[in-house]
Amino acid sequence: MALSRVCWARAAVWGSAVTPGHFVTRRLQLGRSGLAWGGPRYLFPRQLLIRHFWTPKQQTDFLDIYHAFRKQSHPEIISYLEKVIPLISDAGLRWHLTDLCTKIQRGTHPAIRDILALRECFSNHPLGMNQLQAFHVKALSRAMLLTPYLPPPLLRHRLKTHTTVIHQLDQALAKLGIDQLTAEEVKSACYLRGLNSTHIGEDRCRTWLGEWLQISCNLKEAELSLLLHNVVLLSTNYLGTRR
């Protein structure tokens, strides 16, 4: 049992971590801006070699580029959350979501209780997984480094599948214990869940991953839209990563 838990948790760390989807690769191929994407000679190792063949410097540089790409969708996602606040029937939930969006826009890292207070809000209209609008699921797909160029029902289904898998892996990782992971595994786990861990110390990464797991393990299946949005909510302002 212990061995199976270790293997399952390793999958949580490495299963789909930091591997860019077709959308990212295609955008890099088509990108004309040398400043944003680097010159053609710089792109070759990133597109033709798998992650394990990257040099340490390439790993840092490429992960920074991928994170900068997914981070472009963060303001759009927060703006959408603000727009749907009037559609939320419960006054208390409207206040909590307004407060959370304000904190994030002002550069504050939200507390765990601030996020968990919104569980009900993300299980029903308008923020439940099945109620998300087309342009919002496209932005969330970009935040997950997934192609947004699919019909909205397929995007929604794929996001739900990815989030469910992460939720299951979170539960296995919580049982194993973060202290059982190596420094590299911790950083990879954080990156997979939305944090650019390349420039953050190991202890800080373990702290952030602990916050993520505390939120994830308190969510039910019907509330997984909140876990999906947590990729943005919990990572945007952590230790100045908003820059």
Residues ≥6 apart with Cβ < 8 Å to 48: none
Burial class (CB in 10 A: 0-12, 13-18, 19+), 162: middle
Is residue 241 domain-resident? no
pLDDT at residue 16 is higher than 70: no
Model confidence, pTM: 0.80
Is residue 87 domain-resident? yes
Is residue 16 domain-resident? no
Q: Supply the pLDDT for residue 153.
A: 94
Q: How many structural domains compose the chain?
A: 1
Q: Are 183 and 202 in contact (CB under 8 A)?
A: yes
Is residue 47 domain-resident? no
Average pLDDT over residues 135-143: 96
pLDDT at residue 175 is higher than 50: yes
- DSSP structure string for 56-99: HHHHHHHHHHHHHHHHTTHHHHHHHHHHHGGG-S-HHHHHHHHH
Is residue 15 domain-resident? no
Domain range holding 188?
Answer: 54-236
Q: Supply the pLDDT for residue 40.
A: 36
- How would residue 63 be classed by pLDDT, with cut points 50, 70 and 90? confident
Is residue 212 domain-resident? yes
Is residue 14 domain-resident? no
Is residue 186 domain-resident? yes
